[in-house]
């Protein structure tokens, strides 16, 4: 099975959200993308890593690869520094993407103990213009100090990526 992994934002061009310590979302998502690709390949999935500034370019690369699943990885941010936790987006709830989103969301919150903000519906560009079940994962809030510590740590990133990979294997097994 072919899986496209998009690290949200683009290091050097678009930092994405920035935490209190200066941690940039684009660097976190780059690392998560690489790690996830590695673990999925170990589990015999074919992967492509896509991190681009242009949203259509991301969709084109995924579609040309023939991706059967598309994952966009992000870190969340809010004006209130109290906001924290994990949420996973899909275009519609009752769909393959909705199922995938629920498996991933459930693995992340149960294994990391992040606040469960649930599976949500949104019309993000990359969800609308990719040709396969697509989800966008907001792993944790870079604007919250507890979540930022998680996102900054090697162990935290490794745990996030393992949880996402288990969510994918749960989805594929059903």
**Locus of tokens 């209130």:** 80
Q: Output the CA torsion sign for 10, 105, 152, 148.
A: positive
Size of residue set near Zn ion by CB under 5 A: 3
Closer CB to Zn ion, 8 or 156, in the complex: 8
Task: Rule CB under 5 A: choose which of 7, 16, 19, 98 binds Zn ion.
Answer: 16
> Does 8 help bind Zn ion (rule: CB under 5 A)?
yes
Angstrom distance (rounded) from CA 166 to CA 172 = 10
- In which residue are the tokens 């681009």 written? 52
Smallest separation (angstroms) from Zn ion to the CB of 172: 26
The distance of closest approach from Cβ of residue 94 to Zn ion in the complex, given in angstroms and rounded to an integer, is 26
Which of 74, 102, 157, 166 touches Zn ion (CB under 5 A)?
A: 74
Ranked by CB distance to Zn ion, the top (closest) residue is 74
Instruction: Return the closest-CA partner of residue 110 out of 132, 85, 131.
Output: 85
Between CA 158 and CA 125 the distance in angstroms is 27
What CA–CA distance (Å, rounded) separates 119 from 65? 27
The torsion defined by the Cα of 50, 170, 157 and 88, in degrees rounded to 10, comes to 70
**Closer to Zn ion at the Cβ: 126 or 168?**
126
Least distance from C-beta 15 to Zn ion, angstroms?
10
- Shortest distance, position 124 Cβ to Zn ion, whole Å: 10
Q: Are 73 and 126 in contact (CB under 8 A)?
A: no
Q: Binders of Zn ion among 90-109, rule CB under 5 A?
A: none
Which of these ranges, 48-56, 71-79, 86-94, 110-118, lies near Zn ion under the rule CB under 5 A? 71-79
List interacting residues with Zn ion (CB under 5 A).
8, 16, 74
């Amino acid at each position: 099975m072919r899986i496209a992994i998009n690290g949200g934002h683009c290091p050097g061009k678009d930092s994405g959200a920035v935490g209190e310590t200066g941690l940039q979302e684009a660097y976190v998502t780059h690392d998560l993308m690489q790690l996830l690709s590695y673990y999925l390949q170990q589990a015999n999935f074919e992967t492509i890593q896509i991190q681009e500034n242009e949203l259509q370019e991301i969709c084109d690369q995924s579609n040309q690869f023939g991706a059967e699943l598309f994952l966009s990885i992000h870190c969340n941010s809010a004006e209130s520094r109290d906001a924290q936790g994990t949420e996973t987006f899909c275009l519609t709830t009752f769909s393959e993407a909705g199922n995938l989103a629920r498996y991933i969301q459930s693995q992340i919150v149960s294994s990391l103990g992040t606040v469960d903000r649930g599976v949500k519906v949104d019309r993000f560009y990359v969800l609308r213009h990719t040709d396969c079940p697509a989800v966008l994962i907001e792993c944790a809030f870079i604007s919250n100090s507890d979540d930022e510590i998680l996102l900054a740590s090697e162990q935290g990133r490794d745990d996030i990526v393992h949880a996402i990979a288990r969510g994918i294997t749960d989805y594929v097994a059903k």
